[in-house]
Amino acid sequence: MARLSALQLYKLLPKTNCGECTEKTCMAFAMKLMERGVKAEHCMQLKGDKLKKLREVITPPVREVVIGKDEQAITIGGEEVIYRHDLKFFNPAAMVLDISDTMDEKTIKSRLDFVRNYKYERVGKILRLDGICLRCATNDKEKFLKTVKTVCQNFDKFIMLCTLNPEIMDAALEITKDRRPLIYAATNENFKEMSELAGKYNCPLAIHSENLDEIGSMTKTLSNAGFTDIVIDPGFDFENLSSVINKLEILRKAALKDIKEFSFPVMVSTVGLKNLNLGENAAVFEALSISLCLNRFVSLIAFHFNEIYSVMETLTLRMNVYADPRVNPTTEPKIYTVGTPDENSPVLITSNFALTYFAVAGDVESAKISCWLLVMDTEGLAVLVALAGGKLTADKIKEAMDNSKVENLVKHRKLVVPGYVGRIKGAIEDATKWEILVGPQDSGGLGDFLRKNWTGGGLEVKTK
Ligand code: SF4
């Protein structure tokens, strides 16, 4: 169903402005509803068929599926567009590392530690993995259950249980039922038994088939029975990536055309890649495969290699794909320290576009220079754009300096501005009464620039 405007949603609300929800007016509620900031049931006045109708119209073309419970729960799917720039993607794809019952206990614990502890900071955001895909590779019930128990004792995040054997799945679910794991997978052969298990344990179910007609038939049967916590796995062929991408595109387009059988999040598993003889290139090849899928609407990826460089690359890409294109990434406008600045150290100014701030701070830090870095509010625009758009002016620089009280931090009255800002140097001097030094256009040159032009001292980084 096409995305409804706030006005269309408002028409479905009681329009009493009673204020019993989180908002003061129904229109404010409708606007938040459109951005998924509230749920239909948060309107205290809506009941019965009217609530049902509202829920129906706000259900995204790709349904949301919640895996896990309480604070460990993650939501996948819930998407409304093919191209991110048409709106945004709402729920980042879950990334789960493979653990199998063929691994020894030490390896299992080390992989669990990796998922639990690995984190990577990029432009102020902490990027992490989401959980594990626990595979029964032996088809040995006792062995798998032993692995399941080890995992449950040492790990509390998202779990996906993988076996095509319903009897083994039933026993594993008995151990993990409180965590609401993802059941992987129902196929044409075990569909009846696996769907019964999904109902019995109230767990989401992955449907696997390389044939889209078969997938459609299985999801239709489940939906008709009222079960919609479904994840689709159309398979992953390493030797035919174009067909994989093709299928992923077909599935997203079908969901957006309101074809109910395909209105579910899609997953892929690249775990089988470890069986190919790719030697040292295997992790790189897997990272490339994951990248292709992340760019083509996948909501969950099970993977095998946990080399830092490959995980870092895929998590960074995921962050970029799921960033909201309508909102510039920003840093809080305030004065930051780099190194150990004192009253003689230079004062630099830049915009609050996050990428600019992290580039400038990183370049000065790696040049081993101490400084005060004043980040001014340019509404998330980079320096040149802010300058052209009137968000970085002499008066605004003066205002940022006053707000930060930078004059109390240093004895000198010298400000280093980015190279692009040189054209308004005179206006800044008039507004601030400070001497303006025009720095390089590229922050990579700040180290050399300051060593050559800064005469007041305070550049060195002191050891504490
Ligand atoms: S509870 Fe419902 S009727 Fe009352 S203000 Fe909120 S949206 Fe409007």
pLDDT tens, residue by residue, 301-329: 999 999 999 999 999 999 999 999 988 88
- Picking from 32-36, 62-66, 192-196, which range would have the lowest pLDDT averaged per residue? 32-36
| pLDDT greater than 90 at residue 231 | yes
Residue 388 pLDDT: 94
Q: Across all residues in the chain, what is the average pLDDT?
A: 95
Q: What is the mean pLDDT of residues 131-158?
A: 95
Peptide bond into 185 cis (omega under 30): yes
| pLDDT greater than 90 at residue 44 | yes
Which residue has its alpha carbon closest to ligand 1 atom 8? Answer: 26
| pLDDT greater than 90 at residue 1 | no
Residue 19 pLDDT: 93
Q: Is there a contact between 82 and 253 (Cβ–Cβ < 8 Å)? A: yes
| pLDDT greater than 70 at residue 279 | yes
Residue 123 pLDDT: 83
- Please tell me the distance between residue 284's alpha carbon and the centre of ligand 1 in angstroms: 52
pLDDT tier at 127, thresholds 50, 70, 90: very high
Q: What is the mean pLDDT of residues 345-371?
A: 95
Which residue has its alpha carbon closest to ligand 1 atom 6? Answer: 21
Residue 112's SS3 state is helix
pLDDT tier at 124, thresholds 50, 70, 90: confident
Ligand 1 atom closest to the Cα of residue 42 is: 1
| pLDDT greater than 80 at residue 3 | no
Residue 275 pLDDT: 84
- Please tell me the distance between residue 30's alpha carbon and the centre of ligand 1 in angstroms: 9
Q: What is the mean pLDDT of residues 403-425?
A: 96
Q: pTM, whole model, 2 decimals?
A: 0.85
| pLDDT greater than 70 at residue 161 | yes
CA distances in angstroms from 442 to 148, 361, 373, 387, 421, listed in the order given: 52, 12, 16, 16, 12
**Domains observed in the chain:** 6-58 (1.10.15.40), 64-321 (3.20.20.20), 335-453 (3.40.50.11600)
Q: What is the mean pLDDT of residues 83-96?
A: 93
Q: How far apart are CA 314 and CA 133, in angstroms?
A: 17
- Please tell me the distance between residue 55's alpha carbon and the centre of ligand 1 in angstroms: 15
In 81-228, which ranges are continuous DSSP H helix? Answer: 105-117, 141-154, 166-176, 191-201, 212-224
Q: Which residues pair with 353 in a beta bridge?
A: 330
pLDDT tier at 280, thresholds 50, 70, 90: confident
List, for residues 201-211, the tens digit of each pLDDT value: 999 999 999 99
pLDDT tier at 464, thresholds 50, 70, 90: low
- Please tell me the distance between residue 132's alpha carbon and the centre of ligand 1 in angstroms: 41
Residue 68 pLDDT: 94
Residue 330's SS3 state is strand
In 35-137, which ranges are continuous DSSP H helix? Answer: 48-58, 105-117
Phi, psi angle pair for 286, to nearest 5°: -65, -40
Closest CA to 381 of 327, 438, 311: 327
| pLDDT greater than 70 at residue 2 | no
| pLDDT greater than 80 at residue 375 | yes
Residues with CB under 6 A from ligand 1: 13-14, 16-21, 23, 26, 29, 43-45
- Please tell me the distance between residue 48's alpha carbon and the centre of ligand 1 in angstroms: 15
Residue 122 pLDDT: 87
Residue 273 pLDDT: 87
Residue 309 pLDDT: 92
